[in-house]
Structure 1
Amino acid sequence: MARQVVLCDAAGRPTRTADLSLAHSGDGLLHLAFSVYIFSPDGRSLLLQQRSMRKRLWPLAWANTCCSHPRLGEPAVEAGRRRLREEMGIDCELKPGPGFVYQARDPGGRGAEHEYDQILVGTYAGEPTPDPAEVAAWEWMGLESLQTDLMARPERYAPWLHAGLPRLLVPGGPLELAGGE
C-alpha cells in the first residue's frame, strides 16, 4: 500500500488520508507535518541536516534537524521522536512549539508542499548517527550564522526552515520551549 498522509484543515484538524504522492502533486493538498528543531544545550546552535539526494522534494537542501508526517492518530511528539530516531539516530524529549501553514513548489518541478507544520523542539549534546538514505550530511550551525546564510543564500535551504525558524527566534524562544538552560 502506498504511504499515506493525513489531510487537514487550516487549523490542523484531520479530515481524511491521501496517498503521499498525491498530496505532494500540483500545488499540494494541505496535510499534517512536523518539523523537529534540536538545539545545543546552550541554545546557540541548531542541528541541521542536508536532505538525501533520494528525496523527491528539495533533494540536497539543508533543513532543520528532522521533518516528516505523523501517521493517522499518532500524536506529533511521538511521530517526531520516531522519525528523529530513524533519520538522525537521536532520542530526546520533544516539546511542541507553534504550528503554521505554508505552501511551496519544489524548484526542480517535482511537486509541492502544502502543510500544517507542527514545530517540535528539543536539546541534545552529542553527535547524530544519521541514516544515509535520509540524510546526506549534518552540521551544528550557530543561530547567528544560520540567519545570515538564510538571507544570503535562501535557495540552499528548505522552505519549511525559512517559515519555521523565525517562529522560534522570539522572546522565550527555543530553549524555553525545550526546557533548556
Structure 2
Amino acid sequence: MNKEFFDGQDELLILVDENDKEIGTQDKLSVHLDGVLHRAFSVFIFNSQNELLLQQRSSIKYHSPGLWTNTCCSHPRPGESTLSACNRRLNEEMGMKADLIFSFSFLYKFEFPNGLTEHEYDHVYFGTSDLEPQINRDEVNDWKYISIGNLEKEISINPELYTPWLKICMPYLK
C-alpha cells in the first residue's frame, strides 16, 4: 500500500472496546494497518419511493476503491458525537442534509487485499431525502437511488462490486 495515497492518515480515530466504550485514540493509518477496533458510522438515505441512495466510492480511496456502498460512512472525531459526525460527512461527501435517526450498531472485522483491516463498531443511521446529491469527487465517483429488491439482485449477481459493510447491513434494510 502506498502511504502517500492514504487519505487523512494523521486523523485520530476513537478506539473502543467491544461494548463501544472509548479506550483511547490512534492515527487512522496505524488503526487500519493493525486492525484495531474503532468507532465508525454508516448513513443510509432513502427517498420517498423507499429507494436507497448508494455511492460509488472514489477510485482513489485507500480501501474499497470504486465499490458501491451506502450513502456515506466514516469515523467520528475525538470529542465529536456520532450524529454530528454523520451530518458532517453526509454534507462533505454527498452535499446533502437530512434528519438522521439511529437504527442499530454492529461490530465487524474485514481484511482487505492491500494489507489494511477494518475492525469497526459501526453505528447505523437512517434518513430520508429526495434531494439530488452534489457529490465531492475526491470521495465519490457516482451515485444512484435503488430499490432494496434490485440491490439484493445486483449483490447476488456481482457481490465483488459492493462493500463488505453494506452486505452486512442488507438484512436490516427490509
Q: CA–CA distance in 2 between the matches of 1:167 and 1:142? A: 14
Where does residue 96 of structure 1 map in the other structure? 102
Identity of aligned pairs, percent? Answer: 40
Where does residue 80 of structure 1 map in the other structure? 86
1:116-155 equivalences under 5 Å are 116-155=121-160
Q: CA–CA distance in 2 between the matches of 1:20 and 1:78? A: 19
Note the C-alpha offset of 1:11. 1.6
CA-to-aligned-CA distance 1:84-140 (integer Å, 9 cap, x gap): 00000001110101000011112x324110000000110000210000000011111
CA-to-aligned-CA distance 1:6-43 (integer Å, 9 cap, x gap): 010112121100110011114x1100000000001232
Matched, 1:32 2:43: no
Note the C-alpha offset of 1:4. 0.8
Q: CA–CA distance in 2 between the matches of 1:23 and 1:10? A: 15
Q: CA–CA distance in 1 between the matches of 2:82 and 2:40? A: 8
Q: CA–CA distance in 1 between the matches of 2:115 and 2:54? A: 23
Structure 1 runs of 4+ with >3 Å offset: none
- Which ranges in structure 2 are unaligned for 5 or more consecutive residues? 1-8
Q: Specify which of 133, 156, 160 is matched with residue 165 of structure 2.
A: 160
Q: Specify which of 34, 49, 52 is matched with residue 46 of structure 1.
A: 52
CA contact (8 A) 1:57 1:112 kept: no
Note the C-alpha offset of 1:168. 3.0
CA contact (8 A) 1:57 1:110 kept: no
